[in-house]
Amino acid sequence: MSSLVVVGFPTVNEAEEVRSQLVDIQKEQLISLEDAVVVDHDVDGKVHLRQALNLTTAGAIGGGFWGSLVGLLFLNPLLGAAVGASIGAASGSLSDLGINDGFMREVGETLPPGTAALCLLARDSTPDRLIERLRAYAPHAKLLRTNLSHTDEERLRQLLEQASKQAEALRLSSAA
Q: Where are the domains of the chain?
A: 3-54+96-175
Tens digit of pLDDT for each residue in 106-153? 989 999 999 999 998 888 777 777 777 777 776 778 877 777 778 877
Residue 164 has a pLDDT of 76
For residue 60, give the amino acid letter: A
- Among 28, 27, 52, 62, CA closest to 120: 52
**Max avg pLDDT among 15-29, 81-95, 124-138, 147-161:** 15-29
| pLDDT, mean over the chain | 76
* pTM, rounded to two decimals: 0.66
Question: What share of the chain has pLDDT > 90, as a percent?
Answer: 19
* The pLDDT of residue 96 is above 60: no
> 88-118: buried (b, 16+ CB within 10 Å) or exposed (e) per residue?
bbebbeeeeebbeeeebeebbeebeeebbbb
What is the H or E stretch that residue 21 is in?
A: helix 12-26
Which class for 146: exposed (0-12), middle (13-18), buried (19 or more C-beta within 10 A)?
A: middle
Choose the CATH number for 3-54+96-175 among 3.40.50, 1.20.140, 3.30.70, 3.30.450: 3.30.70
Please determine, for residue 76, whether its predicted confidence score (pLDDT) is greater than 90. no
Predicted pLDDT at 83 = 56
46: confidence class by pLDDT, cuts 50, 70, 90: very high
Q: What is the mean pLDDT of residues 36-48?
A: 93
Give the pLDDT band of residue 17 (cuts 50, 70, 90): very high
